[in-house]
Amino acid sequence: MLIDKKTKHMKAGVLASGRGSNLQALLNAAKTGSLGVRFVGVGSDNAEAEALGRAEQAGVPTRAFPLALFSSRQEQERAVMFWFEELEAELLILAGYMRILSERFIRDIGCPIINIHPALLPSFPGLNAQRQALTAGVRYSGCTVHYVDAGTDTGPIILQQIVPVYEEDTEETLAERILQEEHLLLPEAVRLIAAGKVRLEGRRVRIEREA
């Protein structure tokens, strides 16, 4: 694993499509110096994404990759991959990125990719996870940070946090309560990875206990 010689921190890139609240949680955590990463770039498939503005305010390089500017999805992904390779990213974080990455991208990017999902995987993968939870009538949902593989939200699970589902919950209220936990869980997962505490054995993630 390469370490940034200047900061002794892992170099991390982020992909986000929307308002970037999980990105902001990461940026806030990085300010304390305890996260163990330096953000080298934030990319988006949406040129108007609020996440890009948040990154710029934090002094992190940004780039937009709207699909309309490319001849194909493959060309778009190639541009994204080359950019993060130029930035020497050692970890790629999906923080509300609304496009499914191809198997080729995942294989060729050359660094681990992690994602945050608003459900307790393997339950309720894909879109509208909160609606799925309410429809199923579960009493608990939550959020999951996992490694990205070729499936949809099927990669090895790193961390999870439980969130209760109340009788009066709507999609919006449940989503907001889960999001609050996402803002804590994603930085913690990144911190553990940067500290070398996370080990992948097949499909099982082992986390080293801290003193």
Q: What pLDDT was estimated at residue 65?
A: 97
Distance of alpha carbon 116 from alpha carbon 145, whole angstroms: 5
Selection from 111, 114, 160, 110 nearest residue 140 by Cα = 160
Q: What pLDDT was estimated at residue 67?
A: 94
CB proximity list for 57: less than 8 A, separation 6 or greater? none
Q: For residues 87 and 145, state if they share a domain.
A: no
Q: For residues 72 and 137, state if they share a domain.
A: no
Q: For residues 106 and 27, state if they share a domain.
A: yes
CB proximity list for 78: less than 8 A, separation 6 or greater? none
Q: What pLDDT was estimated at residue 211?
A: 64
Q: For residues 77 and 132, state if they share a domain.
A: no
CATH number of the domain residue 65 falls in = 3.40.50.170
Q: For residues 52 and 145, state if they share a domain.
A: no
Q: For residues 50 and 78, state if they share a domain.
A: yes
- Beta carbons of 94 and 155 less than 8 angstroms apart: no
Q: Tell me how many domains the chain contains.
A: 2
Domain ranges, residue 137: 114-211
Q: Give the N- to C-terminal CA distance of the chain in Å, as an integer.
A: 23
pLDDT per 10-residue tile (average), the chain, 211 residues: 54 97 97 92 97 97 96 96 97 95 96 98 97 98 97 96 97 98 98 96 91 64
Distance of alpha carbon 55 from alpha carbon 80, whole angstroms: 17
The per-residue DSSP string of 40-65 comes to EEEEES-TT-HHHHHHHHTT--EEE-
Distance of alpha carbon 61 from alpha carbon 149, whole angstroms: 26
Q: For residues 96 and 118, state if they share a domain.
A: no
> What six digits make up the tokens of 50?
């609020």
Q: Using the 3D structure, point to which of 111, 144, 178 is the last residue of a domain.
A: 111
Please tell me the chain's helix, strand, coil percentages from 3-state DSSP, rounded to the nearest 5: 35, 25, 40
Q: For residues 81 and 129, state if they share a domain.
A: no
Q: Using the 3D structure, point to which of 95, 111, 127 is the last residue of a domain.
A: 111
Q: Using the 3D structure, point to which of 111, 142, 161 is the last residue of a domain.
A: 111
Alpha-helix runs per DSSP H in 36-157? 50-57, 73-86, 103-108, 129-136
Q: What pLDDT was estimated at residue 73?
A: 95
CB proximity list for 182: less than 8 A, separation 6 or greater? 22, 25, 116, 118, 143
> What six digits make up the tokens of 38?
């330096």
Distance of alpha carbon 187 from alpha carbon 26, whole angstroms: 5
Q: For residues 206 and 162, state if they share a domain.
A: yes
Q: For residues 107 and 120, state if they share a domain.
A: no
DSSP 168: T
Q: For residues 183 and 206, state if they share a domain.
A: yes
Q: What pLDDT was estimated at residue 210?
A: 74
Question: What residues are annotated to the active site?
Answer: 117
Q: For residues 7 and 93, state if they share a domain.
A: yes
